[in-house]
Amino acid sequence: MESLLYLPDNEYQKSFESEVTKTKEDDKYIVLEKTLLYKEGGGQPSDRGKISWKDGEAEVVDVQKRQGEVRHYLEGDIPEPGTKVNGEINWERRYKHMRMHTAQHILSWVVLNMFDASTAGNQIHEDYSRIDFKPVEFSERDVEKIEKAANSLIQKELEVEKKMMDRELLEDRVQEGRTNIDIIPSGIDPLRIVVIGGEDICPCGGTHVDNLKEIGKIRITNRKSKGANAERIEFELEE
């Protein structure tokens, strides 16, 4: 299994060196010994970037985990196995995802505390994101309250800590309803966790900012009912 260089707490590195361990010409993907590029998952889209080597270069147009390997899909030349490469991530896109993903954690935390509702799903994009909650029904007034509570946490400039934690300890410490640890395969131990302000603990393999002040301001742009006792909110970030 290749190593993921951005874990557990290395989201700000923008370039890396690695070696190709597998090449699949027909499907235009390579596997690297180690990588900084985020593979799609957990509601967060994959990174984009560039791979270059002595006599070639390619754009990374997608990164997906399939059959236990992280596949970097390329446009351009395809390097042979054994080739030493330099990798670079598209930082602008990545940083937007980092800010969005941490904003999603804040909103999930706020809604759990205010309404005792869990996050049932989420999808992050560069420009807007959405979260589904249940069981809950929001009023317009509730949406304002959520936005205000989330932004006041940002104003406190809380630190975001990322580290590994033993599964057993995590099961003890995670707030009820915050996440369903049981759906994470039991072989994964320890788990990578994201802790906001020393209080909100969530197992997550995504990329996050180091301090809430980097997020800017959360603006909830839309809310809709997703059936009985389920709500979806959409939000954007202002610098």
Residue of minimal Cβ distance to Zn ion: 204
Q: Does 49 bind Zn ion (CB under 5 A)?
A: no
Closest CB to Zn ion among 45 and 206? 206
206 binds Zn ion (CB under 5 A): yes
To which residue do tokens 């049932």 refer?
Answer: 120
Stretch that binds Zn ion, among 79-87, 125-133, 157-165, 204-212 (CB under 5 A): 204-212
Nearer of residues 47 and 85 to Zn ion, judged by Cβ: 47
Please identify, among the stretches 86-94, 150-158, 172-180, 198-206, the one whose residues bind Zn ion according to the rule CB under 5 A: 198-206
Read off φ and ψ for residue 182, nearest 5 degrees: -60, -25
CA distance 108 to 111: 5
Stretch that binds Zn ion, among 142-150, 155-163, 166-174, 199-207 (CB under 5 A): 199-207
Q: Name residues contacting Zn ion, limited to 208-237 (CB under 5 A).
A: none
Identity of the residue, 74 or 204, whose beta carbon is nearer to Zn ion in the bound complex? 204
Selected from 165, 201, 204, 209, the binder of Zn ion by CB under 5 A is: 204
Establish if 87 lies at the interface with Zn ion (CB under 5 A).
Answer: no
Question: Token digits for 213?
Answer: 């002040």
| Rounded least distance, CB 101 to Zn ion, Å | 6
Stretch 150-169 residues interacting with Zn ion (CB under 5 A): none
203 binds Zn ion (CB under 5 A): no
Q: Using CA atoms, how far apart are residues 106 and 179, in angstroms rounded to an integer? A: 13
Applying CB under 5 A, the residues found at the interface with Zn ion are 204, 206
